[in-house]
Amino acid sequence: MSASACAPRAPRSAGQDAHGSTVEVVAKGSVSWDGAALPAYPATAPEVTVVRVTIPPHSALPVHKHPSINAAYMISGAITIVAESGKELKVRAGDGFLELVDSWHHGRNDGDEPAVIVVVYVGSPGAPLTVEK
């Protein structure tokens, strides 16, 4: 499954303002890419963290999970995300997606160039962004 074919991914919509700037929604929803409902938002004021992840060519991240809601945007390259269930999501540059929450998964870069992703985490203050298995 590719991110562009993933139902939970918002359709791309762009608007242009009077100054020529555009705004394009690349991911929006209440379910992660595998269709699981996102958890309730933290009861306290959330902590927002933005990270840039670079996955080298022909390598994989360890199996991990994220305790907090997070959304990602693929800057360059491509990856395949594999859920513990075996379900896969292929993500290419320009794709946005809502990541799995509290579900084991890993990402791999089968390509010849680094894969660069910007991820925004919204969770409870002090909560870890990632937990490795």
Domains of the chain: 3-132 (2.60.120.10)
The neighbouring-strand residues paired with 79 are 91
Mean predicted confidence (pLDDT) in 117-122: 98
- Per-residue confidence (pLDDT) for residue 5, from 0 to 100: 39
Q: Is the pLDDT of residue 40 over 60?
A: yes
Q: Is the pLDDT of residue 69 over 80?
A: yes
Q: Is the pLDDT of residue 10 over 60?
A: no
- Per-residue confidence (pLDDT) for residue 14, from 0 to 100: 64
pLDDT-wise least confident of 1-5, 65-69, 90-94: 1-5
- Per-residue confidence (pLDDT) for residue 64, from 0 to 100: 98
Q: What does the alpha-carbon distance between residue 59 and residue 78 come to, in Å, rounded to a whole number?
A: 12
Query: Phi first, then psi: what are they for 27, rounded to 5°?
Result: -160, 135
Find out whether 121 and 72 touch, Cβ atoms under 8 Å.
Answer: no
The two tokens of residue 133 are 């298995």
Query: Phi first, then psi: what are they for 130, rounded to 5°?
Result: -140, 140
